[in-house]
């Protein structure tokens, strides 16, 4: 069993780490406080290849594998989870959806612009009344006399919604038949009938813009149907498998940042004349933090490897992705909680990044499938029962 990384994987990890430390980390707290989108950094990340790591070079991407992507997300997330959220949506949800299900024209037109950082992508599945029950969506797409699609409805909690140029959207094209009536579309937000609502005031990942979007007689050109009509739900679920690897990687980055800050604090902070790291209660917490972090990291890399193998040989990787996302997100929440506790009052202060890590970690247990949904996915795969 070989746990070493390739030169390409180490290269993108190094690029991401250098950019994270020099450009992302110094402004993370300020952007979080102002809930300001890091547009300049995102454009630079596009130029570095970080916004389309698995996209082939012919479409403007870095042409690397899922492990390289996971390593890069971990580095960015360790500096700022909000920036890694934008990165994850671009890579895992938008580009991946079009690469897997789009035609050549769609790849050239939509993936290239996102890959190079010229534009930002988004993914619109959730609605105000349908989160985990994605098949219960209300957004409708009906053909007009020209064969184009007229779309009406609302989507909620859309990451990068206020700034996205292109969006992968899911809507009911054939009512009354549930998931089999869902189709996928590529939306150009500059066409009439699209409206982005106000940005959501979130607990964490505040520098990533999130909003509700609305379609009012929006005409989507027929050539922007993604994949086959009626296959949208299967497209959405397959893309979310890849997205969960991105969120697991994000959670590992948050957890690692909280853990490393705690190690430093335990060595430097003294109580009763001794570093607090010499106290058995602190040592116990650190040992558990280390074990959870290592488990989350290895499971995330296993899921990324499984995705790469599935792409080469066929097969699925959904269970591995769900396991990684569940373990990593809950590890991030637990580790950041313990980090705040060990830091005491300073952990609760905005003078240090621990409280931001704690706030940011929570969302990893919710989006792209809650922890409860991950448990259902895993159990159903294991038992074969639904």
Active site (catalytic) residues: 368
pLDDT at 169 over 90: yes
- Residue-wise pLDDT for 199-245, tens only, equals 999 999 999 999 999 999 999 999 999 999 999 999 999 999 999 99
Tens of pLDDT, residue by residue over 354-377, are 999 999 999 999 999 999 999 999
- Within 10 angstroms of residue 341's Cβ, the number of other Cβ atoms is 15
- What pLDDT shows up at residue 376? 97
Residue 1's pLDDT band, with cuts at 50, 70 and 90, is confident
103 and 166 belong to one structural domain: no
Range of the domain at 218: 122-232
Integer Cα distance of 46 and 119 in angstroms: 9
pLDDT digits (tens, 9 = 90+) for 321-365: 999 999 999 999 999 999 999 999 999 999 999 999 999 999 999
What is the total count of domains within the chain?
3
**pLDDT for res 131:** 73
Confidence of residue 108 (pLDDT cuts 50, 70, 90): very high
Q: pLDDT tens-digit profile of 45-67?
A: 999 999 999 999 999 999 999 99
What is the spatial distance between Cα 147 and Cα 103, in angstroms, rounded to a whole number? 18
Say yes or no: 135 and 103 in one domain: no
**Would you say residue 2 lies in a domain?**
no
- Confidence (pLDDT) at 133: 77
Does 248 have pLDDT greater than 90?
yes
Same structural domain, 113 and 204: no
Of 327, 188, 342, 320, which is closest to residue 276 (Cα–Cα)? 342
Q: Clarify whether residues 135 and 225 are in a common domain.
A: yes
> Are 163 and 284 contained in the same domain?
no
| Residues paired with residue 154 on neighbouring β-strands, in sequence order | 214
CATH number of the domain encompassing residue 214:
2.40.110.10
If asked whether residues 82 and 137 sit together in one domain, one would say no
Q: Are residues 203 and 275 in the same domain?
A: no
| pLDDT surpasses 90 at 116 | no
**Confidence (pTM):** 0.96
Q: Which residue, of 120, 140, 167, is where some domain finishes? A: 120
Domain boundary among 203, 232, 261: 232
Strands (E), the chain: 121-124, 140-143, 149-159, 166-172, 182-188, 194-199, 210-220, 225-226, 270-271, 274-275
187 near 173, Cβ under 8 Å?
Answer: no
* pLDDT of 290 strictly over 80: yes
Return the minimum-mean-pLDDT range out of 10-19, 123-132, 216-225, 248-257.
Answer: 123-132
- Name the domain boundary from 189, 215, 232: 232
How much is the pLDDT for 101? 97
CATH code for position 13: 1.10.540.10
Decide if 1 is inside a domain: no
The whole-number pLDDT of residue 3 equals: 87
Report yes or no on 64 lying in a domain.
yes
User: Which residues are 194's β-sheet partners?
Assistant: 215
Provide the pLDDT confidence category of residue 2 given band limits of 50, 70 and 90. Answer: confident
**pLDDT band of 117, cuts 50, 70, 90:** confident
Q: Check pLDDT > 90 for residue 135.
A: no
Q: What pLDDT score was predicted for residue 136?
A: 83
The answer to whether residues 86 and 129 touch, using CB atoms and an 8 Å cutoff, is no
Same domain, 97 and 226: no
Same domain, 282 and 373: yes
């Amino acid at each position: 069993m070989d746990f070493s990384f390739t030169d390409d994987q180490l290269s993108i990890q190094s690029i991401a780490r250098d950019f994270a430390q020099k450009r992302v980390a110094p402004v993370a707290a300020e952007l979080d406080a102002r809930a300001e989108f890091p547009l300049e950094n995102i454009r630079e990340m596009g130029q570095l290849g970080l916004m389309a790591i698995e996209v082939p070079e012919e479409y403007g991407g870095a042409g690397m594998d899922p492990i390289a992507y996971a390593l890069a997300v971990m580095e960015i997330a360790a500096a700022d989870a909000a920036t890694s959220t934008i990165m994850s949506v671009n890579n895992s949800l938008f580009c991946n959806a079009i690469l897997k299900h789009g035609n050549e024209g769609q790849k050239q037109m939509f993936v290239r612009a996102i890959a190079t950082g010229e534009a930002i992508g988004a993914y619109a599945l959730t609605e105000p009344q349908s989160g985990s029950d994605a098949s219960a969506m209300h957004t409708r797409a009906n053909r007009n006399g020209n064969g184009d699609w007229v779309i009406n409805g609302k989507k909620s909690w859309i990451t990068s919604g206020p700034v996205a140029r292109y969006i992968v959207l899911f809507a009911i094209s054939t009512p009354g038949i549930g998931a089999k009536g869902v189709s996928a579309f590529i939306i150009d937000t500059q066409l009439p009938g699209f409206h982005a609502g106000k940005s959501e005031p979130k607990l964490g990942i505040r520098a990533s813009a999130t909003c509700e979007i609305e379609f009012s007689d929006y005409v989507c050109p027929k050539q922007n149907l993604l994949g086959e009509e009626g296959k949208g739900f299967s497209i959405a679920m397959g893309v979310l498998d890849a997205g969960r690897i991105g969120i697991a990687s994000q959670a590992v980055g948050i957890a690692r940042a909280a853990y490393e800050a705690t190690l430093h604090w335990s060595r430097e902070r003294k109580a009763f004349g001794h570093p607090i790291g010499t106290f058995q209660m602190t040592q116990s917490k650190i040992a558990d933090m280390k074990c959870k972090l290592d488990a989350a990291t290895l499971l995330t890399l296993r899921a990324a490897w499984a995705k790469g193998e599935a792409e080469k040989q066929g097969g699925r990787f959904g269970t591995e992705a769900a396991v990684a996302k569940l373990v990593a997100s809950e590890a991030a929440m637990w580790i950041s909680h313990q980090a705040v506790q060990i830091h005491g009052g300073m952990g609760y202060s905005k003078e240090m990044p621990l409280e931001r890590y704690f706030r940011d970690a929570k969302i990893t247990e919710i989006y792209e499938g809650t922890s409860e949904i991950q448990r259902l996915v895993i159990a159903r795969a294991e038992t074969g029962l639904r």
